[in-house]
Structure 1
Amino acid sequence: MWNILYSIGYVYYVTLTDHELTKIFKRKFGNDFPNVDEIAADSDLIFVMTDEFLEVQRPRMPNFVHIGSLGLEDENDSGKLDKNTAKEMEKGEDGIVYFSLGTTMNSSMLQPFVMRTVLGAAKKFPDYHFIIKIDAHDQTAKEFSKGVDNVFVTDWVAQRALLKHPRLRAFITHSGYNGIVESAMCGVPLVTIPFMFDQIRNSLAVEQGGWGVGLTKEALRDDPKMLQTALNEVLSNDRYKKMAMRMKNLLKTKPFKAKERLVKYTEFVLSNGGMKELIAPSRHLSIIKLYNLDVYLFLITTIFVFIYIPLKLTSVALFKTNRKKHKTR
């Protein structure tokens, strides 16, 4: 039932989004422009910017093609660590732990407890050196980092090159998709702290894959020790590294890379005049029919009319009968 309610809520949200997108396109291209949801529903092929190994598994239509690692598969396109970062990577007796919230989230815009908890956890692992990426304006994090000897704070790092470094032991991430893909390709176990949007699903996929531990951002505020516990679990339990390396091997040995899929499936569709055979007949069903809500309503009504009401009437009749007997006595 929860899955049904969640799905209905998601469909409602997507419908509103599609409606707003349609209005934008109609203003730009005229009122003859079709609705966005109709374009999506009647598409012969849908390229999905996720990788099937890095997804929460669920039923999918046969015309869905995953190309999630597109643009990230070139191992030679990793950049190079600058001299300062390369020097920092040699510190820490047991290795390096990396923290980053990506490029779209500014650490300076977060509530202070986030960076306070992260830097507080770093203190508990003196044998590891922490590379903490923040934005250039985050003075709060810079203040918190003062006096923490095993921390290097920076506002930029060549992330792919860092993730490939042999001394890296774990990555604390907000679960942005590019970071998830890059970590999987480099075999790096994760501690995930999703904040919004697809990050929550990405975090769940990592947990289900067994190569990371997930936390909520509220946990950083309500119980800061949870980050320490999660990080200790990833660093001390070999199974996370083993599963991360398995994920790396799966992505590396896939028979068809994302770019290959994109090109070959596009050519296939064009050469065959579409793939109508793979389009779901249910694509134009209403929410009520799609989720059998009319059937559920009928069953509930039937139970109410033929079971609940007779039982209720019988109960009332027995109560009145017993009451009359009591008065007679």
Structure 2
Amino acid sequence: MRDRNTNGSEDAGQIAGQIAGRIAGPIAGVPLDLNLLRTFLTVYRTGSFTAAARLLGLSQPTVTTQIRTLERQLGRELFERRARGVTPAPYADDLAARIVQPLDALATVAGPAGSAEDTPAEPVHLAGPAELLSRCVLPGVAPLVDKGVRLRVTPGLTEPLLEGLRAGRHDLVIATFRPRGRALTALPLNDEEFVLVASPAWAERLGAPEHLAAALHGVPLVAYAEDLPIVRRYWRHVFGGRLVRQPAVTMPDLNAVKAAVVGGTGFTVLPRYLCAAELASGALVLLHDPDDPPINTAFLVQRPGTAGHPHVALVRDHLLHAARDW
């Protein structure tokens, strides 16, 4: 009877053979070096020699040398160097498509170097909007913790969080938009509806005006940011016009925006999930109920190269299932 390590070694050997078969045509006669291919795939996914070096535990000059070595062996340029990062050349797209599945499978079979069965798995680094994390994600993580998952949660805005994902600082990011490019895998997570709300006192003062958008010009506006990204989108989608306003209060925290409006400061636009309890209790009043409210789809984005980390898949699947009830 063969032990587990023997089976793992044989599986790894078979997968390495598959990789060789997939690229035998393009580099016939060239010795296969899985380390070069692994470095190539990491650079391809992160779009940066620096980020790839950090993920691989190598120096940036070593990554650069390995990529140049592979380019010489292939006789083709793989990346175009830019001021910030690199862009894959057309041939790199084809090479990545050939090796990504077997190379990720090899990482899964081999597992982390030097790992032992009794060694705790590495934490899963999850990031996303602070409000969604605190209101929807964190109240439901108990089943994951019971299974031995360790979470490191980081709040923030989507753009810098995606940069952190590419650089290897996060494993999963809840993004407020689908990331561009083919290097990141993004799955639709949930749709958030935006609602126009105010305190009961302001709702009573407004009454039922024929032109709500015009009537609100006399009401203080509380917003997430000076450029009114959420409120402007609501105005454009629902009222079909451009909002030109100076907010009375700004705070880059939607929970704080909600608190100010509950306190009677004025009106705002919030995701419905964030103020559902206040709407149900009467602490906030829905000022408008359009047939076609603005909807924004959130995406769950996974860092490339995490296929060998079982807890990343566990957290991903848990979030995709739990989001149905958000």
Q: TM-score, normalised by structure 2?
A: 0.25
Q: TM-score, normalised by structure 1?
A: 0.25
Flag the structure with larger Rg: 1
